[in-house]
């Protein structure tokens, strides 16, 4: 197996995850089986307990692992099958080492960062040799070189490379080459210093991926090569992409990154065949039509709904339609009403969420979509909101709510899952991962998916309360998807509305640019019908 380690220098948010994923795209098209892994230096066991405002979206894998959003890029850009082993945190590493210590596995020894923590990190990288069907593992290290908390990971990589041999491992350092206006030139010093930091701990990058707004001229490249001790042809320019993140693999191919990597590993393969990908990017970047979709949010940070944005982009590509996303703050709707924000949108999407802030605004937005025949897609919390709205305003169940937001509601139409009643720990304890759903014959859901059984990823504690199922169905709500035993409501729809579908799961975790998710595709098509640019 070959290993590519990806580190980041100078600043965070350089798009290391996208770089790793894009390299994965190219290597797969060179016939390599690729897997990707993220090592996160923070002490949380997983990001599941973190606020999306700080950390962005929590990405859920098929096996129920709650992971960093970069794993979303890995899945969207490659065919790698990811599991909880693909996202390692310091928290997990310390948890394992400390429980071994309590068990007595290290009896007599002093337990230390080197070698015990570093050994555990290496074991988690090596795990892939035995379990994954991959030729190349791309391992991204979160954070920036120079961070104290990242040091054990870098030390572990140094040891790892020594063990597998330098011919089997590449260190790719993603760095920033800023343009300083006053001087009118690109500056290499920050990169020199971040590479110096790596070399201090015995790591020498073989490839420098330089994020820059301007082209790197020959002089800058030579300087970077000389001072960072990297061959000139391994100084790779990574300009900001113009329109879409899906241009990134094309850009890196043009710069020869995958060619360089294959040469370093001695892999003989023809260039990656990217014409289908290029076509895909073209349909995403130059669509014929346009729709405007409102996401009723409470987190302003774009990254909090990353996979939803990407899924809409994929669905837009499939429909030859550009998507303008309007992020509407649910609390603004509470203050000023829905009209101002939603009167001119083609569709309304209510995403997942936790806690009661903004829920009344989301309920108002959902009512607006239902009453004004605007296409509506509810995801997870969005389905719970749609249920509450329908119960209150169609079934006249005053005060209907979820017990998450109002524990003493007279009509708990959404309540805690039975299996959650005994759960007190917050970490990794929701209903998580892939579960099957049976679709109702003749429902919109069944038409859209084109089958009767689907499997989607979940992350929730609350559920549709079956006590109210019959009364809601009597008033025109269709339960179109349930768990295999028929007990858990997984999908609802309103047949006498042009397009109103809400789901308890997260379809956004299974959409790829070259395999757009059917629900998002159908939603975007419905938005186009609503705007009159597509015939029904």
Q: Which residues bind ligand GLN (CB under 6 A)?
A: 352-354, 380-381, 404, 459-462
Q: How far apart are CA 85 and CA 130, in angstroms?
A: 12
CB of 334 to ligand GLN, least distance (A): 18
The nearer residue to ligand GLN, 172 or 328, going by C-beta atoms, is: 328
Pairing mode, strands 489-493 and 478-482: antiparallel
> What does residue 143 show for φ and ψ, rounded to 5 degrees?
85, -170
The nearer residue to ligand GLN, 404 or 456, going by C-beta atoms, is: 404
Angle, CA 515 vertex, CA 514 and CA 516 arms, to 5°: 110
Q: For residue 319, give the nearest of 526, 88, 49 by alpha carbon.
A: 526
The nearer residue to ligand GLN, 30 or 411, going by C-beta atoms, is: 411
Catalytic one of 262, 380, 415, 527: 380
The nearer residue to ligand GLN, 30 or 460, going by C-beta atoms, is: 460
Q: Which two tokens stand for residue 255?
A: 């710069």
CB of 238 to ligand GLN, least distance (A): 34
Residues in the chain: 536
CB of 517 to ligand GLN, least distance (A): 17
The nearer residue to ligand GLN, 173 or 517, going by C-beta atoms, is: 517
Catalytic one of 497, 508, 517, 527: 508
- Give SS3 for 338: coil
Q: Which two tokens stand for residue 359?
A: 């829920």
CB of 58 to ligand GLN, least distance (A): 9
Output 247-256 pairs: Cβ under 8 A, ≥24 positions apart: 247/281, 247/285, 248/15, 248/18, 248/19, 248/22, 249/22, 249/23, 249/25, 249/26, 249/77, 249/274, 249/277, 250/274, 250/277, 250/278, 250/281, 252/19, 252/22, 252/23, 252/26, 253/26
Catalytic one of 506, 517, 527, 530: 506
Q: Which two tokens stand for residue 404?
A: 């998450």
380 catalytic per annotation: yes
CB of 246 to ligand GLN, least distance (A): 26
Q: For residue 24, give the nearest of 84, 79, 81, 72 by alpha carbon.
A: 79
The nearer residue to ligand GLN, 106 or 354, going by C-beta atoms, is: 354
CB of 97 to ligand GLN, least distance (A): 32
Tokens 């060179």 appear where?
Answer: 30
The residues annotated with a catalytic role in the active site are 380, 506, 508
């Amino acid at each position: 197996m070959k290993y590519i380690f990806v580190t980041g220098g100078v600043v965070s948010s350089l798009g290391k995850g996208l770089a790793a994923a894009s390299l994965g795209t190219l290597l797969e098209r060179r016939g390599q089986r690729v897997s990707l892994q993220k090592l996160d230096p923070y002490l949380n066991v997983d990001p599941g307990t973190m606020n999306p405002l700080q950390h962005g979206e929590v990405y859920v894998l098929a096996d129920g692992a709650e992971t960093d959003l970069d794993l979303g890029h890995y899945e969207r850009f490659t065919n790698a099958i990811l599991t909880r082993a693909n996202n390692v945190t310091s928290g997990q590493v310390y948890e394992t080492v400390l429980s071994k210590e309590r068990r007595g596995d290290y009896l007599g020894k002093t337990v230390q960062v080197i070698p015990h923590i570093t050994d555990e990190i290496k074991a988690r990288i090596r795990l892939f040799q035995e379990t994954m069907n991959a030729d190349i593992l791309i391992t991204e290290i979160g954070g920036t070189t120079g961070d104290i908390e990242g040091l054990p990971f870098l030390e572990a990589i140094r040891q790892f490379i020594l063990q597998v041999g330098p011919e089997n491992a590449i260190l790719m350092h993603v760095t920033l080459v800023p343009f300083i206006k006053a001087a009118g030139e690109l500056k290499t010093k920050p990169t020199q210093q971040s590479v110096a930091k790596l070399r201090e701990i015995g790591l020498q990058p073989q490839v420098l991926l330089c994020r820059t707004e301007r082209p790197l001229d020959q002089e800058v490249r030579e300087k970077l090569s000389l001072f960072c001790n990297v061959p000139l042809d391994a100084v790779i320019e990574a300009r900001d992409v113009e329109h879409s993140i899906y241009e990134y693999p094309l850009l890196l191919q043009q710069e020869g990154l995958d060619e360089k990597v294959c040469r370093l590993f001695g892999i003989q393969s023809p260039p990656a065949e990217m014409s289908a990908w290029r076509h895909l990017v073209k349909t995403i970047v130059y669509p014929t039509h346009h729709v405007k979709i409102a996401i009723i949010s409470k987190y302003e940070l774009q990254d909090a709904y990353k996979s939803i944005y990407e899924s809409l982009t994929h669905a837009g590509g499939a429909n030859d339609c550009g998507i303008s996303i309007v992020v509407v703050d649910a609390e603004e709707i509470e203050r000023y009403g829905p009209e101002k924000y939603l009167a001119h949108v083609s569709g309304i999407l209510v995403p997942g969420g936790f806690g009661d802030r903004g829920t009344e605004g989301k309920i108002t937005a959902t009512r607006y979509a239902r009453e004004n025949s605007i296409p509506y897609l509810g995801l997870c919390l969005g389905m719970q909101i749609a249920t509450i709205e329908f119960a209150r305003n169609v079934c006249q169940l005053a005060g209907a709510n979820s017990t998450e937001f109002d524990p003493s509601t007279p009509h708990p139409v959404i309540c805690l899952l039975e299996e959650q009643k005994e759960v007190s720990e917050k970490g990794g304890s929701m209903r998580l991962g892939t579960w099957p759903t049976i679709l109702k014959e003749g429902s919109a859901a069944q038409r859209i998916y084109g089958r009767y059984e689907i499997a989607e990823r979940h992350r929730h504690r609350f559920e549709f309360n079956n006590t109210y199922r019959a009364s809601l169905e009597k008033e025109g709500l269709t339960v179109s998807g349930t768990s295999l035993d028929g007990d858990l409501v997984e999908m609802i729809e309103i047949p006498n509305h042009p397009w109103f579908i809400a789901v308890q799961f997260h379809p956004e975790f299974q959409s790829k640019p070259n395999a757009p998710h059917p629900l998002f595709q159908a939603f975007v098509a419905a938005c186009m019908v609503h705007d009159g640019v597509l015939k029904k």
